[in-house]
A and B are shown apart, each in its own frame.
Chain A
Amino acid sequence: MLSSDSDILNEAEAWKRAGREVALATVVETWGSAPRPVGSHLVIDGDGNFLGSVSGGCVEGDVITEAMDVIGDGKPRMLEFGVADETAWRAGLSCGGRIKVYVEKVA
């Protein structure tokens, strides 16, 4: 089922209340043609389950990996993804856009 960003925030709350570890990723800036608008969310739990989207599939894998660290140490992180740049990030945006994603723990 498709999920709206509001469903995702409700789900994030429900997951946390159910005792799961939860991180929330949010698109905070975009440049050029970015697949998802500013404010889009992805919620991730401690087992790597996720709901929502910050890029339409291009960088979710990396965001989920980083979210595990955020859940681990509780410190928020700012991630930046651009056109496929092998030295900096494994993931890239084939559309040529750039996005910044903020990842925080729900505590």
Chain B
Amino acid sequence: MDLSLLSALNAERAARRAAILVTDVATGEARLVREYEAASDPLAQELAERFRTGRSGTIEVDGRSFFLTVQMPPVRLVAIGAVHISQALAPMAKGLDLDVTIVDPRTAFATPERFPDVPVLAEWPSEALPKLGGLDRYTALACLTHDPKIDDPALEAALRAECFYIGALGSRRTHAKRVERLQAAGFGEADIARIHAPIGLDIGAVSPAEIAVSILAELVSELRRDRRRTP
């Protein structure tokens, strides 16, 4: 592979854009196809399918064997709330290879001292999320402040952006009130059902670290939904 091609592939990933590297494994000849270029590629149909599933693999075309390295944008976790649970969540999420960002407008909470390993934005979600390039399908959102003023705008943005995982902390009663507010804001039942609340798998978590585990387990179960033994 040419260094320039490897460099282009790395640049696409850094820009959070999906791309496929098509390699003829007999000759080593390769080309990079970005999502918007796929339709005009000789392998258009196969590439469209690969962009949909995100799966790398080998295909045979006219007796030639091609390997498709499918590169989806890195999975990202945005946590709203620089709270105790987030302090436990951030290093664990990094261990799972997630790009983590903490957002909380309360400057007493959102300090680099409390979050030495990850970027912290001491701003309202309405200011912070655009700075992150907005939310997208490859982003997970965890709302952890309990404060509707902070959580709700982020939840609405995540529903619109079709984030693959959306979770919100709070009791069933808190969530019932949240549902009412989202309905009033025009969100339908199917949208609202995409929010995991109370957040996290039901593992009986008590401590912030245990709650972080339950949140990340739930996030992974959405990320790997197509590999699950039970739907």
Instruction: Give residues in A with beta carbon < 8 Å to B.
Output: 2, 4, 6, 9-10, 12-13, 16-17, 24, 26, 28-29, 38-39, 75-76, 78, 100, 102, 104-107
B74 CB within 8 Å of chain A: yes
Determine whether the beta carbon of A107 is less than 8 Å from that of B3: yes
CB B50 to nearest CB in A, in angstroms, measures 11
B70 CB within 8 Å of chain A: yes
Q: A12 — which chain B residues lie within 8 A by C-beta?
A: 6
Determine whether the beta carbon of A9 is less than 8 Å from that of B2: no
Determine whether the beta carbon of A13 is less than 8 Å from that of B56: no
Determine whether the beta carbon of B69 is less than 8 Å from that of A39: yes
Instruction: Using CB atoms, name the residue of chain A closest to B5.
Output: A106
- Given contact pairs A6-B74, A9-B13, A38-B56, a sample of 18 additional A-B residue pairs in the complex whose CB atoms are under 8 Å apart: A2-B97, A4-B97, A6-B13, A6-B71, A13-B3, A13-B6, A17-B3, A24-B1, A26-B69, A28-B58, A28-B67, A29-B58, A38-B55, A39-B57, A39-B70, A75-B28, A104-B28, A106-B3
Instruction: Using CB atoms, name the residue of chain B closest to A10.
Output: B10
Determine whether the beta carbon of A76 is less than 8 Å from that of B67: no
Query: Which of A2, A10, A13, A16 interacts with B95 by CB under 8 Å?
Result: A2
Instruction: Give residues in B with beta carbon < 8 Å to A.
Output: 1-3, 6-7, 9-10, 13, 23, 25, 27-28, 55-58, 67, 69-71, 74, 95, 97
Given contacts A10-B10, A29-B58, A106 and B1 within 8 Å (CB-CB): yes
A61 to B73, CA, bound (A): 31
Q: A29 — which chain B residues lie within 8 A by C-beta?
A: 57-58
A75 to B28, CA, bound (A): 8
CB A63 to nearest CB in B, in angstroms, measures 15
Q: A105 — which chain B residues lie within 8 A by C-beta?
A: 1
A16 to B23, CA, bound (A): 20
Q: Is the interface of A mostly helix, strand, loop or mixed?
A: mixed
Determine whether the beta carbon of B56 is less than 8 Å from that of A106: no
Instruction: Using CB atoms, name the residue of chain A closest to B70.
Output: A39
CB B10 to nearest CB in A, in angstroms, measures 5
CB A44 to nearest CB in B, in angstroms, measures 13
Q: A78 — which chain B residues lie within 8 A by C-beta?
A: 25
Determine whether the beta carbon of A28 is less than 8 Å from that of B25: yes
A17 to B95, CA, bound (A): 28
Given contacts A29-B58, A102-B67, A107 and B95 within 8 Å (CB-CB): no
Q: A10 — which chain B residues lie within 8 A by C-beta?
A: 10
A13 to B11, CA, bound (A): 11
A13 to B4, CA, bound (A): 9
Q: A75 — which chain B residues lie within 8 A by C-beta?
A: 28
A38 to B71, CA, bound (A): 12
A76 to B61, CA, bound (A): 19
Given contacts A4-B97, A78-B25, A106 and B6 within 8 Å (CB-CB): yes
Determine whether the beta carbon of B23 is less than 8 Å from that of A102: yes
Determine whether the beta carbon of B67 is less than 8 Å from that of A9: no
CB A96 to nearest CB in B, in angstroms, measures 20
